[in-house]
């Protein structure tokens, strides 16, 4: 620890996280999680003493290793580090940080560059094992980050990274129905890589295109959405979800800007400035399936509108009502390397939060 721990920070999709090789972290999950809390700066809403950015979208960790699965090159474990609580959870994966896994694997030598593009086969190990292929730009044998692909939710263009998700054998509607009713509201529970509950904006008395800050500031709305989440989580087989970050709660409405559907997503208590990759996939599957609460569409390409733009998802389904399965989905993301070096965690034994504050002479602003 005194020599620092190898760490790379990347912007992956519309999130930002710290990427580690599994062998550079403790093997024991409890020791690993304690270390990550100290690296990221939790528990502290600002995370001022660590790498985290004081928001769930910037307090994320990717742990990558060589895979023992013959169908994959690397394993990817996602860990959400809660900013203001001493909590690290692997209850969900993250499709945004997934965009950085391929570049990280190539940079760390886990996968050799193979021509102008390199395909990295990734096994996502949480919450359930799934596979994805990431195609990364590697001209001259090096990862290319600069490019002209503009991705909503990020301010600057970068090189495209194509993510292709093969379908699975399990139906995508975990309750066995395309519409359920919880606390007096009709919802659709869908899991096409991310557990999501869809609610109609009109049923909540809102337009569905509000600014995230407006929705976060509506205490009555947040309480109602949370009551639905708790009931839906149990019905989806997730158990008591009070301390979990899933399911996500996506409010759907008619499109406003030429897309297929308008969304606002609680993740689950803050409102996403965009939408998560696998969350968007789950929404797109619901849009493509007749009878759900989402606006329907027969088009293979679903354009999901969110607070900062749109997210395109190409969906190929095996349609069968509540037994619908996904054949394949594809999306385009971007990622960018921000830093690469060593990180020093705060000591395991530090002053408690209520320790003596700095004096005026010590406080330099």
Assess contact for 208 and 294: CB atoms under 8 A.
no
Assess contact for 8 and 107: CB atoms under 8 A.
yes
If you search the block for the tokens 């399936």, which residue do you land on?
289
- Per residue in 155-181, pLDDT tens? 999 999 999 998 888 899 999 999 999
CA distance 146 to 130: 29
- Tell which residue, 82, 77, 73, has the closest CA to residue 93: 77
Burial class (CB in 10 A: 0-12, 13-18, 19+), 54: middle
**pLDDT value of residue 327:** 94
**pLDDT value of residue 364:** 33
**pLDDT value of residue 153:** 84
- Domains of the chain, earliest start first: 5-167+335-343 (3.10.310.10), 180-323 (3.10.310.10)
The angle subtended at Cα 32 by Cα 349 and Cα 83, nearest 5°, is 70
Q: What is the DSSP letter of 166?
A: E
Structure tokens at 236: 């989806």
**pLDDT value of residue 361:** 38
Assess contact for 342 and 313: CB atoms under 8 A.
no
**pLDDT value of residue 1:** 59
**pLDDT value of residue 359:** 35
CA distance 285 to 263: 14
For residue 76, the cross-strand partners are: 64, 124
- Tell which residue, 92, 113, 94, 73, has the closest CA to residue 18: 94
Could you give the maximum distance between any two Cα atoms of the chain, in Å? 69
DSSP secondary structure, 284-301, as one string = HHHHHSTTSSSPP---SE
Q: Please report, in tens digits, the pLDDT of each residue of the chain (365 residues total).
A: 578 999 999 999 999 999 999 999 999 999 999 999 999 999 999 999 999 999 999 999 999 999 999 999 999 999 999 999 999 999 889 999 999 999 999 999 999 999 999 999 999 999 877 899 999 999 999 999 999 999 988 999 999 999 999 888 889 999 999 999 999 999 999 999 899 999 999 999 999 999 999 999 999 999 999 999 999 999 999 999 998 989 999 999 999 999 999 999 999 999 999 999 999 999 999 999 999 999 999 999 999 999 999 999 999 999 999 999 999 999 999 999 999 999 999 999 765 455 444 333 333 34
What is the pTM (predicted TM-score) of this model?
0.82
Task: For residue 122, say if its preceding peptide bond is cis, omega within 30 degrees of 0.
Answer: no
**pLDDT value of residue 10:** 98
Assess contact for 69 and 120: CB atoms under 8 A.
no
**pLDDT value of residue 320:** 95
Assess contact for 19 and 64: CB atoms under 8 A.
yes
């Amino acid at each position: 620890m005194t020599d620092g721990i190898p760490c790379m920070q990347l912007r992956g999709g519309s999130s930002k996280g710290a990427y580690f090789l599994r062998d550079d972290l403790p093997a024991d999950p409890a020791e690993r999680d304690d270390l990550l809390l100290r690296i990221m700066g939790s528990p502290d809403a600002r995370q001022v003493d660590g790498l985290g950015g004081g928001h769930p979208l910037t307090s994320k960790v990717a742990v990558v290793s060589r895979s023992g699965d013959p169908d994959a090159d690397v394993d990817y474990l996602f860990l959400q580090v809660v900013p203001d609580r001493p909590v690290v959870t692997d209850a969900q994966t993250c499709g945004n940080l997934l965009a950085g896994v391929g570049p990280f694997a190539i940079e760390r030598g886990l996968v050799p560059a193979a021509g102008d593009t390199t395909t990295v086969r990734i096994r996502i190990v949480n919450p359930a094992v799934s596979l994805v292929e990431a195609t990364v730009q590697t001209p001259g044998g090096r990862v290319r980050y600069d490019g002209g692909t503009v991705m909503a939710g990020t301010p600057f263009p970068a090189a495209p990274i194509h993510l292709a998700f093969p379908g699975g054998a399990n139906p995508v509607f975990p309750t066995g129905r395309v519409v359920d009713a919880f606390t007096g509201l009709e919802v659709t529970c869908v899991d096409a890589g991310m557990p999501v509950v869809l609610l109609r904006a009109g049923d909540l008395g809102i337009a569905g295109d509000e600014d995230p800050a407006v929705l976060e500031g509506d205490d009555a709305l947040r309480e109602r959405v949370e009551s639905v989440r708790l009931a839906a989580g149990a019905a989806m087989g997730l158990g008591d979800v009070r301390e979990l970050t899933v399911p996500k709660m996506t409010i759907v409405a008619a499109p406003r800007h030429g897309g297929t559907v308008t969304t606002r997503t609680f993740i689950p208590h803050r409102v996403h400035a965009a939408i998560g990759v696998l969350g968007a996939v789950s929404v797109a599957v619901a849009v493509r399936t007749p009878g759900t609460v989402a606006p329907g569409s027969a088009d293979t390409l679903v354009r999901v509108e969110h607070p900062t733009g749109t997210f395109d998802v190409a969906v190929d389904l095996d349609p069968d009502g509540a037994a619908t399965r996904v054949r394949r989905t594809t999306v385009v993301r971007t990622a960018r390397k921000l830093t690469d070096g060593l990180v020093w965690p705060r000591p395991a034994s530090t002053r408690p939060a209520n320790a003596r504050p700095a004096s005026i002479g010590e406080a330099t602003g």
